[in-house]
Chains A and B, each alone.
Chain A
Amino acid sequence: MKKKWLTAFGVMALGAVALSPSVLASASDNSLILGTTQQPSALEPFVNNQAISAEVLGWLYAGLTYFDQNGTLQADLASEVPTEKNGGVKLTKNAAGDVTAQTIRWNIRAGAKWSDGRPITTADMKFNYDVFGDERLPVSSRDNYPKTMKVIDDNTFEVTYDPPYLFATAAPSFVQNFIAPAHIWKPLWDKATASAQGKSKEQQLEIIQKDFLGASIATSKQGPVVTSGPFKFQKWQRDQSWTLVRNPNYWRNNPQMVDRLIYKFFQKTDTLQVNVLAGQVDATSSVGLVASATTIKTLKDSAKGLYSVFTPKTALWEHWDVNQFSQVQEVKDLGLNDVRTRQALVYGIDRETVTRDLRGGTARVSNNVVNSLSNVFTTQGINNYDYNPEKSKQLLTAMGWKPGSDGIMERTVDGKTVKFVLEYVTTAGNAVRERDQQFYKDNLKKIGIDVKFNNAPSSVVFDDAFIAQASNGKWKGLFQFAYVQQPLTEDLGLYYCDDPASKTVKDNVPTVDNGFAGQNIGGWCNAEFDSLWDKARREFDVDARKAILAKAQVIWNRELPAIPLYERTDLYTARNGLLNYTWNANTRYPSNLGWLVGWKQRGAKETIPMK
């Protein structure tokens, strides 16, 4: 009986071998197969804000402007980047000379077309402005949304920002950078809003979700049929793959660009990795492999000339937020609100070794809240906090800490002996972070600090009821996670405390008084930093801003409102011969310069070195 089965198995296996088709040869038909671990939930350019959607929409849609690798703003669908100099930006100033509003005049590039040949006009812009501003559309944020929009002619329009927004030209198209074709979407919008007429708010929302955001042109049923970027959409096999083809109507149609782009979706990073090794994918997406030392080494070791491994810099900034609310007992006991303690912590951890051994030498140790690629980034007067446990111990001794019988530091606070036991929270299930955590625990033990982990899945720790409630002692010590630290917008705003322009006190520090609003979750306050931040956001002169922000960075670095760990890198592979497929903290996605991506074998020239 068993023999029979064995034979049957053999036949099956052999049969299967005989069936196997030939190995992929992407360069030969000028296509590119990308592997990713996420699938866009939908491809409407309004509400969706998944990373993978931003990447795939980047291939499909062009914005008015884009960032190049150096972080310089370039025109795409706009004929030029509006500036004060060329008259595109007009500032309204009050008597004191402060800018109170700003008006930007955009010109759409002559001859800019949708993939179906229709011209891209201000009617499209107006439609997007109206839809995005409609409160029934559940967009995640309308912060810095232009207050008014005026259509001047088919190719020219003006938007007014009141209050002014420094980076308005960089985020031109109403927060999201993708403009949807009005001639396709408007009939759907009109229909949805008509049937929503007179219904309750909740029903309206539902109708708009189903009939507008869930329309077949946004989902796998049909896909976004008309696009403005280097590619147009061809096919979406739900949970399997996604195919794009060249859009010949894109104004910068590059003959050396790949003709076809296929995304394959994988549920697990491991499976994606197997597919890289098996040569089933040509390159991996920006949402795919995880940059750990082991993965980088494995991929490099098995590359065998088939593909290369790249680790581009990203805008992700890994750090510890430190609870500094003095009403929390642990904070008071450990003195976390004292800058010396925070300095002792940063001197006591070996960030250099983590970046080298655990993150494969790719991450960059950070000592600043500003991304190193930003043009306001400074190293002047910035302390590097190199690993120095002796210095930590000195700082701790100065604060009255003495090693106890078990080697853990002790001191007396209000007549009571306390031990230095520090709580450390991060996202459970994130192997790379949890590995850091175990390493730092060991580091801190060496300077007499005992660490207690309190990890939970990201849904728990990023819940408002947790992350924003350090003042209630929901987390009591360190909280490790990453912020997207965009080089452009600098993100010094993360750590301001009180906005002088508003009446509320401590606007950015989440407490019960402001409904736990704000991003300065550790509760650090520094009046000088606040005033510099406030000045900078209204300073439209680049050099003046640089000077202000350099001062702010020095304060940040000295006072350590948070403990900077490092700027992370992504990890991707690309088959040898693929050119210009890359990204960095400025471009963020490979699709941002998508029209350049091509095969060497098909005549593509290297314009951006892949890193």
Chain B
Amino acid sequence: MSLTTATTATPAKRKEENKTWQRFKKHRLAMFSLAVLGLLFFVSIFAPLIAPFSPTLNETSNTWAQPGGRHLMGTDDLGRDVFSQLLYAGRVSLLIGVAVALLSALIGVTLGTIAGYYSGQPVIFSVGLRSSLLAEQQRLEGSSFWWKNGLKWLVWASVIAFTLLVTSQFAATYSGVGVVIAWLVGVGLSMTIAYFAFVQAIVVDIDNIISRFIDVMLSLPQIPFLLILSGLLANPDVKLGGVLDSIFGSARPIVLIIFVLVLFGWLGTARVIRGLVLSLRQREFTDAAKALGSSDWRVMIRHILPNAVAPIIVQVTLDVGNNIISESALSFLGYGIPRDIPSWGNMLSSAQEAIFQNPLASFWPGLFILLTSLSINFLGDGLRDALDPRSRL
């Protein structure tokens, strides 16, 4: 995985792109998958034109009908046409798959890059007045130092205020010695923060924090945690859910699922990107850019990221399939998308009921999920091959 295309001139870049496309075209399976995916997207987007029935048209005297006759793939629990539902469901499932993958990639790449880039170089969150770092920071940042650091102090002051607020509420629930202890702990904590923020310095290893956070998150079992999160967003006292509601209206369940899946989705990407950036930042072109006075952000965006495009694309493609499956698992547990908005996941889990009566009913949505994840995977393989000529994978 070693591309150094990014820093070269534009014509060369275009040529490289052309070559990539040429290589990709040779990957027949990937081309075929692209066609299948294209078809899936096409029929989903144009579902209203293609579907023989309205997805909500029910006929309760004809539930779980076998495929054939009027209903190409049979009917579901309300006697609705499964084929038409699948087409409409594709809109939701593909949207979830793609949106979650893209958002996860965005967050994962950002945090992964930051973590990798700053690994081993602690970041200064506040410089106190008696800190040994003071002089050096002042020299480095010059006139902007005071307002920048002032802002940081303001943030820490509000953290302290919050700590004291919590302490007072805490103390109010105790009596006797408990009050004293609560105040001792609260004030002690505040003073410690104050000491480091205003007198010494708060220096944090960002990489350490992000990496440990990812480790811990990855250790948590996803599904119960997804339930906790969906419960949290459904809590009327937690305003976030209400905000989502007012913005997205009837699309809220879809947005909620996307939100919840992204929370876990970015972890893997971030981990991969961090490792990659760790090695990329040692490379000559990074050093060169730094020597020329580029800022950290510029180095990350202009020099390091373009070299990580291949693994990012592969990661995104693989994620799409995963997300569609995760949504079906949530639907199975009753925390997915309500059944009046068809998705492949909730169709599959509702067909579960008829597993004894009409096993084919669960075959169809399963088939669509399989087709999507399979072809996206082959597409990812093809892209990897095309973008990285050294590996034939």
Direct contact of A and B (CB under 8 A): yes
Binding site for B on A (CB under 8 A): 270, 273, 277, 292-295, 297-298, 301-302, 353-354, 357-358, 428-431, 434-435, 437-439, 441-442, 452-453, 455-457, 459-460, 463, 465-466, 474
Asked whether, in the complex, the Cβ of A294 is within 8 Å of the Cβ of B77, the reply is: yes
Say if the beta carbon of B66 comes within 8 Å of chain A: no
Say if the beta carbon of B250 comes within 8 Å of chain A: yes
Evaluate whether A453 and B334 lie within 8 angstroms (CB atoms) in the complex, with A294-B64, A431-B353 already known: no
Asked whether, in the complex, the Cβ of A438 is within 8 Å of the Cβ of B353, the reply is: no
Asked whether, in the complex, the Cβ of A431 is within 8 Å of the Cβ of B236, the reply is: no
Interface string of B20-63 (1 = CB under 8 A from A): 00000000000000000000000000000000000010101101
Q: Which of A295, A434, A465 contacts B236 (CB 8 A)?
A: A465
Q: CB-nearest residue of chain B relative to A269? A: B353
A465 — which chain B residues lie within 8 A by C-beta? 236-237
Asked whether, in the complex, the Cβ of A429 is within 8 Å of the Cβ of B334, the reply is: yes
Asked whether, in the complex, the Cβ of B354 is within 8 Å of the Cβ of A453, the reply is: no
A430 — which chain B residues lie within 8 A by C-beta? 334
Binding site for A on B (CB under 8 A): 56, 58, 60-61, 63-64, 77-78, 230-231, 234-237, 250, 333-335, 338-340, 350, 352-357
Interface CB pairs A-B, < 8 A, 23: A292-B353, A294-B63, A294-B77, A294-B354, A297-B357, A298-B357, A353-B60, A354-B60, A358-B60, A428-B338, A429-B333, A431-B339, A431-B350, A434-B338, A438-B78, A439-B78, A453-B338, A457-B230, A457-B231, A460-B234, A460-B236, A466-B236, A474-B236
Q: Which of B64, B250, B338, B356 contacts A302 (CB 8 A)?
A: B356
Please give the distance in Å from B177's CB to the nearest CB on chain A. 13
Asked whether, in the complex, the Cβ of B340 is within 8 Å of the Cβ of A295, the reply is: no
Asked whether, in the complex, the Cβ of B355 is within 8 Å of the Cβ of A457, the reply is: no
B352 — which chain A residues lie within 8 A by C-beta? 270
A435 — which chain B residues lie within 8 A by C-beta? 77-78, 339
A457 — which chain B residues lie within 8 A by C-beta? 230-231, 234, 334-335
Q: Which of A438, A456, A463, A466 contacts B339 (CB 8 A)?
A: A438
A sample of 4 more A-B contacts (CB under 8 A), given A434-B340, A457-B234, A460-B235, is: A270-B352, A294-B357, A442-B58, A453-B338
Asked whether, in the complex, the Cβ of B338 is within 8 Å of the Cβ of A301, the reply is: no
B338 — which chain A residues lie within 8 A by C-beta? 428, 434, 453, 455
Q: CB-nearest residue of chain B relative to A463? A: B236
Evaluate whether A441 and B340 lie within 8 angstroms (CB atoms) in the complex, with A270-B352, A431-B350, A463-B236 already known: yes
Q: CB-nearest residue of chain A relative to B249? A: A452
Asked whether, in the complex, the Cβ of B236 is within 8 Å of the Cβ of A453, the reply is: no
CA–CA, A455 to B250, complex, Å? Answer: 11
Most buried by B among A273, A293, A294, A456: A294
CA–CA, A301 to B78, complex, Å? Answer: 20
Asked whether, in the complex, the Cβ of B60 is within 8 Å of the Cβ of A357, the reply is: yes
Please give the distance in Å from A296's CB to the nearest CB on chain B. 11
Please give the distance in Å from A580's CB to the nearest CB on chain B. 28
B235 — which chain A residues lie within 8 A by C-beta? 460
Asked whether, in the complex, the Cβ of A453 is within 8 Å of the Cβ of B60, the reply is: no
CA–CA, A312 to B64, complex, Å? Answer: 25
Please give the distance in Å from A431's CB to the nearest CB on chain B. 7
Please give the distance in Å from B360's CB to the nearest CB on chain A. 14
A460 — which chain B residues lie within 8 A by C-beta? 231, 234-236
Please give the distance in Å from A516's CB to the nearest CB on chain B. 13
Q: CB-nearest residue of chain A relative to B58? A: A442
Asked whether, in the complex, the Cβ of B334 is within 8 Å of the Cβ of A301, the reply is: no
B60 — which chain A residues lie within 8 A by C-beta? 353-354, 357-358, 439
Please give the distance in Å from B91's CB to the nearest CB on chain A. 18
CA–CA, A430 to B338, complex, Å? Answer: 10
Asked whether, in the complex, the Cβ of B340 is within 8 Å of the Cβ of A429, the reply is: no
Q: CB-nearest residue of chain B relative to A434? A: B339
Q: Which of A428, A442, A463 contacts B334 (CB 8 A)?
A: A428
Asked whether, in the complex, the Cβ of A452 is within 8 Å of the Cβ of B250, the reply is: yes
Q: CB-nearest residue of chain A relative to B250? A: A452
B357 — which chain A residues lie within 8 A by C-beta? 294, 297-298, 301
Q: Which of A298, A441, A455 contacts B356 (CB 8 A)?
A: A298
CA–CA, A431 to B77, complex, Å? Answer: 10
Q: CB-nearest residue of chain B relative to A455? A: B338
Asked whether, in the complex, the Cβ of B61 is within 8 Å of the Cβ of A357, the reply is: yes
A452 — which chain B residues lie within 8 A by C-beta? 250
Q: CB-nearest residue of chain A relative to B77? A: A435
B333 — which chain A residues lie within 8 A by C-beta? 429
Q: CB-nearest residue of chain B relative to A469? A: B236
Please give the distance in Å from A428's CB to the nearest CB on chain B. 6
A297 — which chain B residues lie within 8 A by C-beta? 357
Please give the distance in Å from A102's CB to the nearest CB on chain B. 43
A292 — which chain B residues lie within 8 A by C-beta? 353
Asked whether, in the complex, the Cβ of B340 is within 8 Å of the Cβ of A453, the reply is: yes
CA–CA, A241 to B25, complex, Å? Answer: 60
Please give the distance in Å from B334's CB to the nearest CB on chain A. 3
Q: CB-nearest residue of chain B relative to A429? A: B334
Q: CB-nearest residue of chain A relative to B230? A: A457
CA–CA, A428 to B252, complex, Å? Answer: 14
Q: CB-nearest residue of chain A relative to B79? A: A357
Q: CB-nearest residue of chain A relative to B353? A: A294
Q: CB-nearest residue of chain A relative to B60? A: A357
Please give the distance in Å from A356's CB to the nearest CB on chain B. 8
Q: CB-nearest residue of chain B relative to A356? A: B60
CA–CA, A441 to B58, complex, Å? Answer: 11
Asked whether, in the complex, the Cβ of A438 is within 8 Å of the Cβ of B236, the reply is: no
B340 — which chain A residues lie within 8 A by C-beta? 434, 437-438, 441, 453
Please give the distance in Å from A21's CB to the nearest CB on chain B. 25
CA–CA, A439 to B235, complex, Å? Answer: 27
B78 — which chain A residues lie within 8 A by C-beta? 358, 435, 438-439
Please give the distance in Å from B240's CB to the nearest CB on chain A. 14
CA–CA, A80 to B78, complex, Å? Answer: 52
CA–CA, A572 to B60, complex, Å? Answer: 23
Asked whether, in the complex, the Cβ of A439 is within 8 Å of the Cβ of B354, the reply is: no
